[in-house]
């Protein structure tokens, strides 16, 4: 059993801003049913000031996915879209009083959702790196060995820190750091 | 704690009071080491022999010295497979199924690293074994066949007697993981003709930390745990005397309860299942309803995720389990459901209910009354389903 914080339980049982805004100004769906996590975010935006007036979410996923989405909506309401884009998964984790390592990807999904929904409002298409090839090395961000290898080759990377800067991999729970280092070492020894 | 409705008996079971009673003296009064050389030690040796008889009788082994006590079902499985493979060092092919318990499913990876070729016999959408494939996979290099008797996630039963006969015809030793079958279907090692069979204590109301491996006389098996001469030199390590005594008692009781399991528990399971299907739309059962242990049902609640269901149910005091632990967002749910070609998305929505002799009609009533609002609430939160735009 995961050790969830009381806050995660509270948001899971009584989520805030659950639902879907009719004719939203911004809309995004991130994750996928096959990954067991899918989140739909809809925004109402005051166009004169670019301020987020209302946010609603719907989530197919575990308790932490639902709680992360709910916290995200609270963080986003009242912010300008530029401010909202600065919300990170760490903000979500902090609001939730922490997340188990294996569930950090839920908070990442929240960050991706607000980005994608704002992009949608601005008419920008979001490229979602869903189902990349290879095996997932960093579960938090869903980054595969292929992506990491590519980054190592393109930027002559020698440290995990650099990988995190370029790909996000390793930027949350850190349990993938050894595996990332293995990939870096392997390529640099070739 | 509020009222507990425990329907996760394939995970573990409550220790029977009579089992507990049988074990107690061996903690504080008769605590001698059976290997020691004084009469006090004998007080803990004879009860092990009795337990061995009880286990042998439960699975209808010809002789009680065909029973080796182990630390758990996983150890029994590992010991059977590694021990039998080691006994035939020139053969490098192992046949099993695609839906085995982790104890074998994960062991397969190690075997492959050790240079073995592993064939995983497929199952159909009902979870039933493809016997033709089994026949075709056997070759001169095959060292061992291991197929589970019944599946932990779905309860689906394999035709062990037929499979064992196929193995016997080719002279290949046959192991079955009967951990989930014991106490739920009748187990007769002589009639089914298996060479090796694993069972576990805590699935049949004995405590955790004790299991057994049946090794038919004449079956070649190298020891797994190396050390002392315990268990006739086949499994080193000081005997878990209280656990073994409890396990023996539990086997005796399981033999007595098997009719209750099939009839009363089976009827409860059927009611639970049919009422859930009736009261909650977009639900379906995973696996064959015909060839299944009487206590298990695995139900898909479309559009909602398993862990969320479990936590909401836990809030009502209901303990069940989901086939897939949603770990680290890895998009691999249970390998069992994948092998049964349940679409990955849907497999995240599967919940297993497993009953035991301790469950009552009230338990079932409680679940069928409290579950529908839980599912409804989670479906409201879900972007999937009929309200999808
Ligand atoms: S797996 Fe958590 S940071 Fe990579």
Q: For residue range A28-60, what is the model confidence (pLDDT) as tens digits?
A: 999 877 777 899 999 999 999 999 999 999 999
B86-93 LR contacts (CB < 8 Å, sep 24+): B86/B222, B87/B220, B87/B221, B87/B222, B88/B143, B88/B144, B88/B220, B91/B141, B91/B142, B91/B143, B92/B116, B92/B117, B92/B141, B92/B143, B93/B117, B93/B118, B93/B119, B93/B139, B93/B141, B93/B142, B93/B143
Strand A37-46 vs strand A51-60: parallel, antiparallel, or unpaired? Answer: antiparallel
Count of CB atoms situated within 10 Å of the CB of B40: 12
Choosing from A100, A136, A139 the residue with most ligand 1 atoms within 8 A of its CB, the one to mutate for a pocket test is A139
- In the predicted model, what is the mean pLDDT of chain A? 90
How many residues are recorded in chain A? 190
DSSP symbol at A124: P
Residue A135: predicted pLDDT = 86
Q: Which residues contact B6 (CB under 8 A, 6 or more apart)?
A: B14, B319, B356, B358, B359
Distance from CA of B348 to the nearest CA of A (A): 6
Residue B24: predicted pLDDT = 97
Token reading at B270 = 């059927």
Ligand 1 neighbour A80 (Cβ under 6 A): no
Question: Which among A33, A66, A102 is the nearest to B308, CB-wise?
Answer: A66
B343 touches chain A (CB under 8 A): yes
- Report how far residue A180's alpha carbon sits from residue B218's, in angstroms, rounded to the nearest whole number: 50
Choosing from A107, A172, A178 the residue with most ligand 1 atoms within 8 A of its CB, the one to mutate for a pocket test is A172
Contact call for A102 and B328, based on CB within 8 A:
yes
B327 touches chain A (CB under 8 A): yes
Question: Which among A36, A101, A139 is the nearest to B305, CB-wise?
Answer: A36
Which of A27, A31, A33 has the most B C-beta neighbours within 10 Å, making it the best mutation to test the interface with B? A33
- Nearest residue to A67 via CA among A111, A9, A114, A17: A9
Ligand 1 neighbour A174 (Cβ under 6 A): yes
Residue B328: predicted pLDDT = 42
Residue-wise pLDDT tens for chain B (389 aa)?
568 999 999 999 999 999 999 999 999 999 999 999 999 998 999 999 999 999 999 999 999 999 999 999 999 999 999 999 999 999 999 999 999 999 999 999 999 999 999 999 999 999 999 999 999 999 999 999 999 999 999 999 999 999 999 999 999 999 999 999 999 999 999 999 999 999 999 999 999 999 999 999 999 999 989 999 999 999 999 999 999 999 999 999 999 999 988 899 999 999 999 999 999 999 999 999 999 999 999 999 999 999 999 999 999 999 999 865 544 445 467 889 989 999 888 888 999 999 999 999 999 999 999 999 999 999 999 999 865 54
- The CA B314 to ligand 1 mean position distance, Å, reads 29
Q: Render the burial of B124-140: b for 16+ CB within 10 Å, e for the rest.
A: eebbbbeeeebeebbee
Q: Which residues contact A86 (CB under 8 A, 6 or more apart)?
A: none
Residues in a beta bridge with B383: none
Contact call for A63 and B326, based on CB within 8 A:
no
Residue A70: predicted pLDDT = 97
Q: In chain B, which residue's Cα lies nearest the Cα of A36?
A: B348
A139 touches chain B (CB under 8 A): yes
Q: Which contiguous run of DSSP H or E holds residue B68?
A: strand B67-70
- The CA A174 to ligand 1 mean position distance, Å, reads 5
pLDDT tens digits, one per residue of A56-91: 999 999 999 999 999 999 999 999 999 999 999 889
3-state DSSP percent of chain B in helix, strand and coil, to 5: 45, 15, 40
Q: A58 with A20: CB under 8 angstroms?
A: yes
Distance from CA of B301 to the nearest CA of A (A): 12
| Among A residues 73-132, those touching chain B with beta carbons less than 8 Å apart | 101-103, 105-106
- Report how far residue B206's alpha carbon sits from residue B246's, in angstroms, rounded to the nearest whole number: 6
- The CA A183 to ligand 1 mean position distance, Å, reads 15
Residue B28: predicted pLDDT = 95
Residue B327: predicted pLDDT = 46
Question: Which among B307, B330, B345 is the nearest to A62, CB-wise?
Answer: B307
Residue B387: predicted pLDDT = 55
- The CA A137 to ligand 1 mean position distance, Å, reads 8
A33 contacts on B by Cβ (under 8 Å): 344-345, 348, 384
B333 touches chain A (CB under 8 A): yes
DSSP reduced 3-state for A42? strand
Residue B140: predicted pLDDT = 97
What spatial distance separates the first Cα and last Cα of chain A, rounded to whole Å? 42
Question: Which among A12, A35, A60 is the nearest to B303, CB-wise?
Answer: A60
- The CA B262 to ligand 1 mean position distance, Å, reads 47
Ligand 1 neighbour A76 (Cβ under 6 A): no
pLDDT tens digits, one per residue of A145-172: 998 998 899 888 999 999 988 888 888 8
Residue B326: predicted pLDDT = 47
Q: Which residues contact A149 (CB under 8 A, 6 or more apart)?
A: A183, A187
- Report how far residue B283's alpha carbon sits from residue B275's, in angstroms, rounded to the nearest whole number: 11
Distance from CA of A187 to the nearest CA of B (A): 23
């Amino acid at each position: 059993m995961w050790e969830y914080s009381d806050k995660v339980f509270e948001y899971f049982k009584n989520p805030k801003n659950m639902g879907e805004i009719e004719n939203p100004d911004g809309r995004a769906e991130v994750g996928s049913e096959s990954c067991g996590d899918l989140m739909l975010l809809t925004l109402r935006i005051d166009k004169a000031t670019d301020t987020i007036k209302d946010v609603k979410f719907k989530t197919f996923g575990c308790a932490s996915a639902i709680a992360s989405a709910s916290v995200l909506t609270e963080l986003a309401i009242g912010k300008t879209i530029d401010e909202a884009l600065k919300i990170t998964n760490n903000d979500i984790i902090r609001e939730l009083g922490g997340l188990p390592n294996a569930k950090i990807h839920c908070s990442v999904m929240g960050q991706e959702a607000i980005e994608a929904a704002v992009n949608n409002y601005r008419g920008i298409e979001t490229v979602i790196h869903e189902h990349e090839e290879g095996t997932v090395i960093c579960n938090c961000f869903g980054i595969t060995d292929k992506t990491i290898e590519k980054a190592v080759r393109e930027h002559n990377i020698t440290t995990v820190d650099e990988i995190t800067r370029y790909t996000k991999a390793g930027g949350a729970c850190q349990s993938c750091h050894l595996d990332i280092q293995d990939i870096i070492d392997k390529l640099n020894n070739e | 704690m509020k009222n507990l409705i425990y329907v996760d008996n394939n995970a573990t079971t409550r220790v029977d009071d009579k089992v507990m009673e049988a074990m107690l003296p061996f903690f504080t009064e008769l605590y001698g080491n059976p290997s020691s050389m004084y009469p006090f030690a004998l007080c803990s040796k004879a009860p092990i022999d009795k337990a061995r008889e009880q286990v042998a009788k439960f699975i209808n082994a010809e002789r009680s010295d065909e029973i080796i006590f182990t630390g758990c079902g996983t150890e029994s499985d590992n010991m059977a497979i590694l021990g039998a493979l080691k006994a035939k060092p020139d053969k490098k092919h192992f046949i099993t199924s695609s839906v085995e318990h982790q104890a074998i499913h994960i062991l397969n990876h190690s075997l492959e690293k050790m240079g073995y070729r592993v064939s995983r016999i497929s199952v159909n959408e009902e979870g039933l074994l493809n016997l033709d494939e089994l026949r075709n996979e056997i070759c001169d290099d095959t060292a061992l066949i291991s197929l589970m008797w019944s599946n932990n996630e779905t309860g689906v039963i394999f035709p062990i007697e037929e499979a064992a006969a196929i193995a016997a015809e080719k002279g290949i030793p046959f192991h079955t993981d009967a951990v989930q079958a014991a106490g739920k279907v009748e187990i007769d090692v002589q009639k089914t003709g298996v060479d090796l069979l694993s069972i576990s204590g805590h699935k049949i109301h004995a405590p955790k930390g004790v299991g057994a491996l049946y090794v038919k006389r004449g079956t070649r098996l190298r020891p797994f745990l190396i050390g002392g001469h315990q268990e006739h030199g086949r499994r080193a390590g000081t005997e878990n005397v209280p656990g073994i005594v409890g396990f023996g008692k539990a086997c005796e009781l399981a033999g007595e309860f098997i009719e209750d399991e099939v009839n009363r528990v089976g009827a409860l399971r059927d009611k639970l299942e049919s009422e859930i299907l009736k009261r909650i739309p977009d639900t379906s059962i995973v696996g064959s309803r015909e060839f299944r242990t009487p206590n298990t049902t695995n139900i898909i609640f479309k559009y909602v995720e398993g862990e969320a269901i479990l936590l909401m149910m836990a809030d009502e005091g209901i303990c069940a389990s989901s086939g897939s632990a949603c770990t680290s967002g890895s998009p691999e749910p249970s390998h069992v459901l994948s092998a049964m070609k349940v679409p990955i998305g849907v497999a995240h929505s599967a919940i297993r209910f497993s009953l035991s002799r301790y469950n009552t009609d009230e338990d079932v009533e409680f679940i069928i009354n409290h579950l529908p609002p839980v599912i409804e609430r989670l479906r409201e939160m879900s972007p999937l389903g009929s309200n999808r735009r």
